[in-house]
Amino acid sequence: SKATVSVLNWRGLQATLLHPAIHIHTMPAREAVTASDLFLEDIENLALNPRVQKYATLRTTKEAQQAKTHWKRNIHPAGQTREGDWEDAKETTLGVKGAWDEARRCLKCADAPCQKSCPTSIDIKSFISAIANHNNYGAAQMILSDNPVGFSCGMICPVSNLCVGGCNLAASDAGAINISGLQDFAVSHFKQMNIPAVRNPELPPADQMHASYHTKVYCVGSGPAGLSCATFLARMGYDNVEILEKLPYAGGLSASEIPQYRLTDEAVQWEVEKVKEIGVKVTLNAEYGAGQYKTADLLKAGGAVFVGCGLPTPNVDAVFAGLTQGNGFYTSKDFLPKATASSKPSCACSTGGQRMQMNGKVLVLGAGDTAFDCCGSAFRCGAKRVIVCFRRSTADMRAVEEETILARNEKAEFLPYCQPKAVVRDPTTGKITGCVMYKMERDDDGNWFRDEDQTLTVKCDYIVSAFGSMLGHSLTDELAPYVDMKWGKVSVDEKMRTKTAGVFAGGDCVGSGLTVEAANDGKTAAWAIHEYLQAKHNPTVPVPKEAKLPKFHTEVDAIDISVDFCGMKFPNPFGLASAPPATTLPMIARGFEQGWGFAVTKTFSLDKDIVTNVAPRIVRGSTSGAHYGPHQGSFMNIELITEKTCAYWCSGIRQLKHDYPKHIVIASIMSAHNKEDWQELTKLAVESGADALELNLSCPHGMGEKGMGLACGQKPELVRDICGWVKEVCPIPFFAKMTPNITEICDIVQAALDGGATGVTAINTVSGLQHIKMDGAAWPRVGSSRLTTYGGVSGNAIRPMALKMVSSIANKFPNCPILATGGADSADSVIQFLYAGAAVVQASSSIQNQDFTIVQDWISGLKWHLYAQTRPDLIQWEKQIPPPDAGKALTTGVPPRFGKYLRNRHAETAAAKKAALEKGLVGRHADPQPAPAPTHRVPKVNDLIGKALPTIGSFKNLLGMAPHNQAVAAVNDDLCINCGKCMMTCNDTGYQAIRFDADTHQPFITDSCTGCTLCVSVCPVPDCITMVDRNAATRPEAPEYHPHRGIPLGQPQVPVGAKVKLAV
């Protein structure tokens, strides 16, 4: 090839050795070239680049079958290869990109059915919205506030029958949201933050609490019910709460019976630590009803007890009478603790470190969730085949689809319509060799019965019975005088009260078989215990009829996010813009109730300038593409200023300041270029009690034709006049609102400051034409004539413009106070505006996308950001995600995840797990570490203002860095999904610097890379491609960047068809 191609870097060289089809091209010596040579490109680089298809494609069916096999990704490892592999196997688990994409699909529905379908009533829509806004801390806080075992529930909740079953998106072709995956994602990232829980900060110190809060309360069992009850009691201020656990480890059935591949030991023990952090005592090896733990003694002392234990005694069919584990027979209560002890470090003490081992064929009896836990665990203990046998049809299985799908993927076998009749054993050893089954039939009324004329024998080596369980005799004997029993369960009322005052129960022992239901029982009982203890020991103080359970708190929540700005104290930097969210006074009041720190009223004028709006006028942005629902990229409006009178707003401002004295109210006013009008409006607004004024000099549509808004704001002399007139009569701060629809915004800012403005607001909406439909009419179109006009574009689409203008103003006028507006949609984006030089930020489009409550997400997100500045381990987190391992940015030689490569990965994993089993390494994990102590003080919001300005300037500041200080792209093969987007963008819009292997579809970046960063920008996997410094370590063959000029500098043009010798 005559194409000029640089030598591949070391990574490409390695790839060349692995893939002989890739050749190394060296730089040719100077030779005679023609103009046609200027159009030559590297054929190999372009071999797989998309091309327009001119003809229908023809290939044989055999070729298609081979290709299908080669590229197949949905290959699930069979159960018999899972021995020792207790890693996460859930289909719902999400990575960063998957979580962000899934969260952005959520509609945040009104009166959300998902929340109503959750037993613990987690605010699902809000925590998902927080994830979409990159606030994992806020999301986890919402989850744990209502469900102290929300981490466990995110992993194992049967959401298809709960929240997901009620998701409104299930009615659309998009399908329901993966709620459990998002919940797991949020809490797991919060766990990584290592931020301890703290006592409710709204409570008085413990020594100032009423004596009733020191009363002893026992929670029997450290499972979800006990942990939840103890947590909420501690949050309310009870400081003598003790959890009693009869096992040598905490966590209840979550720890002892739910396998590691579904619910990790780390998650369960982390939840136990959270309850300890707020003062709850957890006592192990403590059996209730024995020794000092007696119900009678506790009740005599005036305390209370919550029985939240499981059902430890299995139901065993008479067919299995006399069989033991030595024969190969296990109940789920025998088998699962042994299996989990093989993989969960906290449980290993119960087996002396001995690993549960099986081989051959295992018969699991039952069709509930427990049976399928036994099924998966049997494979991981070494079984080669697992048959799940049950009485009814597969359609009637009680297990949720999350369990059954996994079993099918692992090639478990299902045997419906069967009931055990007899066990077949080896006469010599007594070992189980099979099980004789009755066939089950169904009559016309739907009743199941066994047909004794039909039997079959199933050969097997082990039988695991999962036919349910009941309370043990010791606990039943202890509780018998205090509770009624029904069907082997404790009877309780709707508040989890038993027949004996002071004795409460919940969880498995009352029939709440789901983890989330048990957690809610504990939550319900906590409030009932509070009512009982206060009525008994503190009757003069009434307990509210409506439960007021404290939320989950950390030290982050105590951080002050107020802002000192122009002599005003803003509770936080988040405000309602002079836009649709501030249409009426009650709307502003509702915004304050939800947590917004300030509001700018809808712009009002003198009555002589009153307006009437047209319709339609606020439309979805065309920049959002095919996305519908929340998170629109933009809106466009042709709405004018308020339709309400000046008297309405002035009266309302006065009332708002009376009702919300700590909130800032800014009056937005507008007039034409008329001194008397401006000064009259100013006096009225000041007399109303407004804290400040905003002069609307920027409305881009409608008002300009009346000589107002944009008509004033585009001319420096008019802005200077207006600000001067207002200054003469205004004793409070006032801000000129800037239009972006101008060549140089700083000229207008200078005029405003010269006129006496306190500062500026930047920016108003950007003038635009949103959409032209295929019938040739624009949208929005008004009336039968279908007319439109240029309107104001708002939302995320204009944020880059707003950030540019805010930072330009702040750099040129360092002492100019700035209120920012234009595309704020999260705490992250608000922080960007603060870094760019603004002190407070207004919002509208984000509220149009969601509702007023998003401010709580922003508040917690900003507090987390300030807290992170105090800890070196968190300060580098971006979007509340830990930074990628720098050492993995150059990960190479890792095979892709499809076809033979994926099968090889599975085989290597299985071999590694088996080797780890032999060495006794399975199930080990690092002990939890205490939260690092902060090394810096918590900054104030004011400390963030302008932080980025020293790094923002003109392009000439960058020129001194070239050609040194260059960066190049690096691909992490282990994260790559082999889509080729990087190669395509590099070939068709970049520098043809990426090779793409035809067999593995792995990209290889050559030394021709110029560091343009296009590949990073289009890569669908976060952190898969990163930019690294160009130096001898990353580019040994080309450590410095030298542009390819095509024809060397100083050389003449090449004539068509002629050959010219280029000078060296």
Within 10 Å of residue 433's Cβ, how many Cβ atoms? 17
Share of the chain above pLDDT 70, in %: 93
Query: Tokens 């490409």 belong to which residue?
Result: 12
Average pLDDT on 444-468 reads 92
Q: Quick one: average pLDDT of 394-414?
A: 91
Question: Lowest mean pLDDT: which of 34-38, 359-363, 387-391, 476-480?
Answer: 34-38
pLDDT tens digits, residue range 110-154? 999 999 999 999 999 999 999 999 999 999 999 999 999 999 999
**8, pLDDT greater than 50:** no
pLDDT at residue 27 in the model: 38
Instruction: Judge contact between 434 and 460, C-beta under 8 A.
Output: yes
Give the model's confidence band at 9: pLDDT under 50 very low, under 70 low, under 90 confident, else very high: very low
Confidence of residue 477 (pLDDT cuts 50, 70, 90): confident
Distance separating alpha carbons of residues 760 and 780, to the nearest angstrom: 31
Question: Residue 1: pLDDT above 60?
Answer: no
Would you list the DSSP string of 91-112? Answer: TT---HHHHHHHHHH----TT-
Q: Please identify which of the residues 219, 699, 712, 816 carries the catalytic annotation.
A: 699
Contact 179, 155 (CB under 8 A): no
State how far the Cα of 1024 lies from the Cα of 856, in Å rounded to an integer: 32
Catalytic-residue membership of 646:
no
Using the predicted structure, report yes or no on whether residue 2 has a pLDDT greater than 70: no
Region class of 817: left (phi > 0), else alpha (psi between -120 and 50), else beta: beta
CB-based burial, 856-865: b 16+ in 10 Å, e otherwise: bbbbbbbbbb
Residue range 55-66, pLDDT digits in tens: 999 999 999 999
Give the C-alpha distances (Å, rounded to integers) separating 738 from 756, 761, 819, 845.
Answer: 15, 6, 10, 18
Cβ within 8 Å of residue 891, ≥6 positions away: 972, 973, 974, 975
% of the chain surpassing 90 pLDDT: 73
Q: Which residues of 13-34 are buried (b: 16+ CB within 10 A; e: fewer)?
A: bebbeebeebeeeeeeeeeebb
Q: Each residue of 570-611: pLDDT tens digit?
A: 999 999 999 999 999 999 999 999 999 999 999 999 999 999
For residues 582 and 597, give the distance between their C-alpha atoms in angstroms, rounded to a whole number. 13
User: Are the C-beta atoms of 971 and 994 separated by less than 8 Å?
Assistant: no
Which residues are bridge partners to 1025 per DSSP? 971
* pLDDT for res 13: 35
Q: Report residue 577 as tokens.
A: 């813009």
Task: Report whether pLDDT(494) > 90.
Answer: yes
Cα 761–chain centre separation: 32
C-beta separation of 798 from 623 below 8 A:
no
Helix axes 224-235, 515-537, angle to 10 degrees: 40
Mean pLDDT of the chain: 90
Length of the chain, in residues = 1064
Torsion from C-alpha of 294, 298, 303, 306, nearest 10 degrees: 10
- Position 1064 scores a pLDDT of 43
Q: C-alpha angle with apex 824: 823 to 825, nearest 5 degrees?
A: 105
- Is-contact 792 765, C-beta < 8 A? yes
Please state, in angstroms and rounded to a whole number, the distance separating the CA atoms of residues 720 and 726. 10
Per-residue pLDDT, averaged over 161-173, amounts to 94
Is the torsion defined by CA of 977, 981, 987, 991 positive or negative? Answer: negative
More confident residue, 1047 or 369: 369
Among the ranges given (345-354, 477-486, 694-703, 746-755), the one the predictor scored with the smallest mean pLDDT: 345-354
493 is written with which tokens? 């009322």
DSSP, collapsed to helix, strand or coil, labels residue 661 as coil
Interatomic CA distance for residues 515 and 224, integer angstroms: 6
Is the pLDDT score of 295 beyond 50? yes
CB atoms closer than 10 angstroms to residue 962 = 10
> Quick one: average pLDDT of 733-751?
96
Tokens 């405000």 belong to 575
**Element counts in the chain: helices (H) and strands (E):** 33, 39
Residues 6+ apart with CB under 8 A from 938: 559, 866, 867, 869, 870
Least confident of 177-191, 254-268, 462-476, 867-881: 462-476
222-248 pLDDT, tens digit per residue, is 999 999 999 999 999 999 999 999 999
The model's confidence at residue 697, banded by pLDDT at 50, 70 and 90, is very high
The confidence band for 926, taking pLDDT boundaries of 50, 70 and 90, is low
Q: Is beta strand 1060-1061 parallel, antiparallel or unpaired with respect to 32-33?
A: antiparallel
pLDDT tens digit string along 406-444? 999 999 999 999 999 999 999 999 999 999 999 999 888
Quick: pLDDT tens for 175-209: 999 999 999 999 999 999 999 999 999 999 999 99
CA–CA distance, 684 with 605 (Å, rounded to integer) = 11
Instruction: Identify the pLDDT of residue 1055.
Output: 83
Rounded Cα distance, 193 and 187, in Å: 10
Task: Tell me how far apart the alpha carbons of residues 564 and 940 are, in angstroms, rounded to a whole number.
Answer: 10
The residue type found at 932 is: P
Q: What's the pLDDT at 33? A: 62
Tokens of 578: 């002079």
Instruction: Output the CA torsion 343→344→348→353 (10° steps).
Output: 20
**According to DSSP H, which parts of 707-782 are helical?**
710-713, 716-729, 745-755
Closest CA to 997 of 896, 903, 889, 902: 896
Residue 781 pLDDT > 80, yes or no?
yes
SS3 281: strand
pLDDT at 21 over 60: no
pLDDT tens, position by position, 303-355: 999 999 988 889 999 999 999 999 999 999 999 999 998 888 877 665 555 78
Report the pLDDT averaged over residues 633-643. Answer: 94
Give the pLDDT confidence score for residue 411 in this predicted structure: 93
The pLDDT tens digits for 976-1002 are 999 999 999 999 999 999 999 999 999
Q: How far apart are CA 724 and CA 717, in angstroms?
A: 11
What is residue 860's three-state secondary structure?
A: helix
- Is residue 11 scored above 50 in pLDDT? no
Q: How many of the other CB atoms lie within 10 Å of CB of 1052? A: 8
Rg (CA), the chain: 34
- When pLDDT is averaged across residues 726-731 and rounded to a whole number, the result is 98
Name residue 952's amino acid: I
Per-residue pLDDT of 22-53, as tens digits, reads 333 333 444 566 666 677 677 677 878 888 99
